[in-house]
A and B are shown apart, each in its own frame.
Chain A
Amino acid sequence: MSVAHFEPLPQRLADMQGEIEQYARGYGLDFFTTIFELIDADELNAIAAYGGFPTRYPHWRFGMEYERLSKGYHYGLQKIYELVINNDPCYAYLMKSNDDVDQKLVMAHVYGHCDFFKNNQYFAHTSRKMMDEIANHGNRIRRYMDRYGADEVEEFIDSCLSIEDLIDVHSTFIKRRARPNRYDFDGEKEAEPVSAGRFRAKEYMDSYINPPHVLAAQAKQLEESRKEKDTRFPAHPERDVMLFLLEHAPLQAWQADILSMFRDETYYFAPQAQTKIMNEGWASYWHSTIMTRQGLLPADVVNYCDHHAGTMASSPTQLNPYKLGIELLRDIEDRWNKGRFGKEYEECDDRAAKREWDTGAGLGREKIFEVRRIHNDLTFIDTFLTIDFCRQHKLFQFGYNEDADTYEIESREFPKIKQQLLYNLTNRGQPQISVYEANYKNRGELFLQHQYDGVELDMGRARDTLANVYRLWSRPVHIRTVLSDTETILSFDGTEHAIEQSEKVAS
């Protein structure tokens, strides 16, 4: 796996970049300085295997990913057209073997991504110097490998990587817990006695409206729940499992350093998973607009159409984020241009009038720029996927039929399709797992909880992950999941796995 030696762009491509950049800025796109590097397919596959960063820590998974990409390319199964890094300056890669029309298309597409990185709120917290930071992570990990041995460090990295999805993506916007203040001694005061809420009542009705035995029972329940909170650690379930382990697992300094690096990298990459449909849709919208209006020469039209259509192709079994994103953005633009939004339009029940509805509002372009700024995939689909769009693009929900041993269309009903899409996008399609208790059974065991939000726990992966979490926590670990009123607790005590199932759902 070779990593590229970068050279300045040839003059022909540098001129092309200047031209496309000018068009992009003319449409109001706003991006960091973008540096294009020209590399061959092998180098592009190597960089793609590293997640876009040419300098990273050594690990076998990158080699494995490179083999997959490389074989896919050489067998003609797949080809990476573009690769762009959210950084200031943005770095993007062009493949040497591409035709000029493809280079233009990629440049226009990349400027769309760069604008999205800079302006979408979900990227606001990401480090814009990640190219340097990730290279720095690589150096630190190489030093640890020299000092503690490559095998030991690699084994630890394997454990960290198996929990890299267990973060709280919203924690960058929501303050879930106050930082403990070392000078705040209020916590040491005696807790106030608990009293149950009383309803307002006149004196002669009081014993009827606030029966003493009910009040006493409520007070007892509140007291018990407060005691449970006081004794349980953490007091509230912690979604950022990586952070919890970083703060509380018995890790050596080098281990904590590696875990914190991986956590930073996970938070850096998370918005890309949260905005895949929007980001690709936005970039495709702009490459399509720039190329069809200004970028194309007459001789390029057929090649451009062929490659654009290939990117937008829909598969019956897989959602194409490029296609869904671009079509939804175009639909929004059209609706806002024609004034097809708001109370009056929504409440109109005359189908013919709705079909012809055009107030000449002309707000489409402004609206899609607003959408690009404030939405992620989940809110984007939730807000803008309409029944008309669903019908027009023939969306359907599919599932696995065990009898026929095949995937087939389950439903064409709009609510089910939308719900399925939203499930797939909640928490980036990953199961929602939090640390429920770190002193389970008063034995310092870690108890994780899976909350069902449309994504079930894969038992095979859960077992492997438990073993990896055990390596970090050094005490037995458990995970509870509830599906169809059956509670399942998987456990790993360092030597063997155990599974416990019960019909009764614990509160």
Chain B
Amino acid sequence: MNDENTKAQQTYHVRVGHARVSVQCQSREQAIDLARRKLSSEMPRLYDLIHQMDVQRFQIEPAT
């Protein structure tokens, strides 16, 4: 097992405009990927927009 896999899972709140989702993962990059997937599942008609969106549009906060 490498270091990545042994890292602890953390909850992140990811906000894009008015939409906000919470995801559990190990890094900010993973949080964005998971947030894209979650948001596009909730808003399937915006799939292409969500997947093309720049990473700067995602505001990520670790849950306290």
In the complex, whether B37 has a CB less than 8 A from a CB of chain A is yes
Of all chain A residues, the one with the shortest Cβ separation from B40 is A337
Ordered by A's residue number, 19 sampled pairs between the chains whose C-beta atoms are within 8 Å are: A289-B45, A292-B45, A293-B49, A330-B44, A330-B45, A333-B44, A333-B47, A334-B44, A337-B40, A337-B44, A337-B47, A338-B41, A358-B41, A360-B37, A362-B47, A362-B51, A364-B47, A364-B48, A365-B48
Assembled-state Cα–Cα distance A284/B32 (Å):
32
Assembled-state Cα–Cα distance A360/B41 (Å):
10
Assembled-state Cα–Cα distance A362/B47 (Å):
8
B47 to chain A: closest CB distance in Å?
Answer: 5
Assembled-state Cα–Cα distance A358/B41 (Å):
9
Assembled-state Cα–Cα distance A364/B44 (Å):
10
B21 to chain A: closest CB distance in Å?
Answer: 14
Assembled-state Cα–Cα distance A410/B37 (Å):
40
Q: Which residues of A contact B (CB under 8 A)?
A: 289, 292-293, 330, 333-334, 337-338, 358, 360, 362, 364-365
Of all chain A residues, the one with the shortest Cβ separation from B44 is A334
A287 to chain B: closest CB distance in Å?
Answer: 13
CB-based A-B contact count at 8 angstroms: 22
Closest 6 CB pairs of A and B: A334-B44, A337-B47, A365-B48, A364-B47, A362-B51, A360-B37
A-facing residues in B41-57 (Cβ within 8 Å): 41, 44-45, 47-49, 51
A-facing residues in B11-64 (Cβ within 8 Å): 37, 40-41, 44-45, 47-49, 51
Assembled-state Cα–Cα distance A289/B49 (Å):
11
Q: Which residues of B contact A (CB under 8 A)?
A: 37, 40-41, 44-45, 47-49, 51
For B47, the chain A residues whose CB sits under 8 A away are 333-334, 337, 362, 364-365
Known: A333-B47, A362-B51. 17 other contacts (CB 8 A): A289-B45, A293-B49, A330-B44, A330-B45, A334-B44, A334-B47, A337-B40, A337-B44, A337-B47, A338-B41, A358-B37, A358-B41, A360-B37, A362-B47, A364-B47, A364-B48, A365-B47
> Which applies to chain A's interface (DSSP): helix, strand, loop or mixed?
helix
B53 to chain A: closest CB distance in Å?
Answer: 13
Assembled-state Cα–Cα distance A289/B43 (Å):
13
Assembled-state Cα–Cα distance A489/B51 (Å):
63
Of all chain A residues, the one with the shortest Cβ separation from B48 is A365
For A293, the chain B residues whose CB sits under 8 A away are 49
Assembled-state Cα–Cα distance A358/B40 (Å):
11
Assembled-state Cα–Cα distance A362/B49 (Å):
12
For B41, the chain A residues whose CB sits under 8 A away are 338, 358
For B37, the chain A residues whose CB sits under 8 A away are 358, 360
For A338, the chain B residues whose CB sits under 8 A away are 41
Of all chain B residues, the one with the shortest Cβ separation from A289 is B45
For A334, the chain B residues whose CB sits under 8 A away are 44, 47
Of all chain A residues, the one with the shortest Cβ separation from B49 is A293
B43 to chain A: closest CB distance in Å?
Answer: 11
For A330, the chain B residues whose CB sits under 8 A away are 44-45
For A292, the chain B residues whose CB sits under 8 A away are 45
B64 to chain A: closest CB distance in Å?
Answer: 29
For A360, the chain B residues whose CB sits under 8 A away are 37
Assembled-state Cα–Cα distance A330/B46 (Å):
11
Assembled-state Cα–Cα distance A360/B36 (Å):
10
For B45, the chain A residues whose CB sits under 8 A away are 289, 292, 330
Of all chain B residues, the one with the shortest Cβ separation from A338 is B41
For A337, the chain B residues whose CB sits under 8 A away are 40, 44, 47
Of all chain B residues, the one with the shortest Cβ separation from A360 is B37
For B49, the chain A residues whose CB sits under 8 A away are 293
For B40, the chain A residues whose CB sits under 8 A away are 337
For A365, the chain B residues whose CB sits under 8 A away are 47-48
B54 to chain A: closest CB distance in Å?
Answer: 17
B59 to chain A: closest CB distance in Å?
Answer: 22
B44 to chain A: closest CB distance in Å?
Answer: 5
B41 to chain A: closest CB distance in Å?
Answer: 7
For B48, the chain A residues whose CB sits under 8 A away are 364-365
For A362, the chain B residues whose CB sits under 8 A away are 47, 51
For B44, the chain A residues whose CB sits under 8 A away are 330, 333-334, 337
For A364, the chain B residues whose CB sits under 8 A away are 47-48
B4 to chain A: closest CB distance in Å?
Answer: 19
Assembled-state Cα–Cα distance A337/B48 (Å):
9
For B51, the chain A residues whose CB sits under 8 A away are 362
Assembled-state Cα–Cα distance A357/B10 (Å):
24
Assembled-state Cα–Cα distance A365/B52 (Å):
13
Assembled-state Cα–Cα distance A488/B18 (Å):
68
Assembled-state Cα–Cα distance A117/B61 (Å):
49
B17 to chain A: closest CB distance in Å?
Answer: 13
B25 to chain A: closest CB distance in Å?
Answer: 15
Assembled-state Cα–Cα distance A338/B49 (Å):
15
B31 to chain A: closest CB distance in Å?
Answer: 15
